[in-house]
Amino acid sequence: MNRILTSKWTKVVVFVVCLAPAGLLVWEIFHDGLGANPTQFLEHATGDWTLRFLMITLAVTPLRKILNLPQLIRFRRMFGLFAFFYVCVHFCLYIGLDQLFNLRGIWADVLKRRYITVGFTGFVLLIPLAITSTAGMIRRLGGKRWQKLHRLIYVSAIAGVIHFYWLVKSDVREPLLYAAILAVLLGWRIMTWFRNRDRGPAPGNVVRKEPAAAEMN
Ligand code: HEM
C-alpha cells in the first residue's frame, strides 16, 4: 500500500479525481445540465465540494494514524488546496451570478445575512492557509507557528457547516451529517491531545521544525 501511496502517478491520479467535479460542472454548463436555476445549481455544487474537501483534508491525519499509513500525508496539502479552489469558484459565482459584481451589495449581504457572514468568515480564514501552504512558507514561519496558523482550518470547517445549516430552509439532514462527521474528526483530535498530554510527548509527537512539521495536525 505504501508503494502505491508514494508513487508520483498516484498523486497525478488523485489530482485528476479532485478536479473531476469541476470538469463535470463545466461539461454540464455546455450540455444544458444545470436545471431550471443554473446559478443555484452551480453555487450548491461548488459549496458541497468545498465542504467535502475540507472534511477529506481533516480526515487525513486520523486515517494515517489509525490505518498506519504515514504516506497519506502526501495528499493532505492537495486536498486542502482543492477545498480552497472550490470555495474560490463558489465565491466567484456568488459575486458574478448572484450579485452581478455589485461590491456594495456584496458587503451589505455579508453584514446582513448571517449565513453569508459565516460563509465569508470560513472563506477568509482559508486564505492565509493557502498562501502558507508551500514548503518555503513552512520553513519561514517555523513548524510550530505554521501548525498553530493551520488550526484555522478547524474554524473554517465549523463556519462552513454552520453556513450550510443556516442556509437550508427545512431539511437540515445534510448539514447535520456534515456536523456529525466534523464532530468525529475534531473529537479524535481532542482525544489524542488529552492522551498525549497525560502520557507526555512520545517520540512521534515531537514537533519538528522543518517542513516535516506540516505532517502534524
Ligand atoms: C468555507 C466556506 C464555505 C463553504 C464550506 C460553503 C459551503 C456551502 C454549501 C455546502 C452550500 C449548500 C450546498 C447545497 O445546498 O447542497 C452553500 C451554498 C451557498 N453558499 Fe457557500 N460555502 C462557503 C462560503 C461561501 C461564501 C464566502 C459565500 C458568499 C459570500 C457563499 C455563498 C453561498 C450561497 C449564496 C449559497 C446558495 C444559497 C441558496 O441556496 O440560496 N458561501 N455553500
pTM comes to 0.92
Three-state DSSP at 100 gives: coil
Q: Closest residue (by CA) to atom 38 of ligand 1?
A: 167
> What's the rounded Cα separation, in Å, for the pair 47 and 40?
10
Distance, CA 123 to ligand 1 centroid (Å)?
10
Atom of ligand 1 nearest to the CA of 159: 1
Q: For position 214, what pLDDT does the model report?
A: 42
First to last CA, the chain: 22
Q: Is the pLDDT of residue 172 over 90?
A: yes
pLDDT one-digit tens code per residue, 110-163: 999 999 999 999 999 999 999 999 999 999 999 999 999 999 999 999 999 999
Distance, CA 20 to ligand 1 centroid (Å)?
20
> What's the rounded Cα separation, in Å, for the pair 202 and 171?
45
Q: For position 181, what pLDDT does the model report?
A: 98
Beta strands per DSSP E along the chain: none
pLDDT one-digit tens code per residue, 9-48: 999 999 999 999 999 999 999 999 999 999 999 999 999 9
> What's the rounded Cα separation, in Å, for the pair 88 and 46?
9
pLDDT one-digit tens code per residue, 43-102: 999 999 999 999 999 999 999 999 999 999 999 999 999 999 999 999 999 999 999 999
Q: Closest residue (by CA) to atom 5 of ligand 1?
A: 160
Q: Is the CB of 118 under 6 A from ligand 1?
A: no
Q: For position 203, what pLDDT does the model report?
A: 56
Q: Is the CB of 178 under 6 A from ligand 1?
A: no
Q: Which three cell numbers stand for residue 95?
A: 459575486
Atom of ligand 1 nearest to the CA of 175: 10
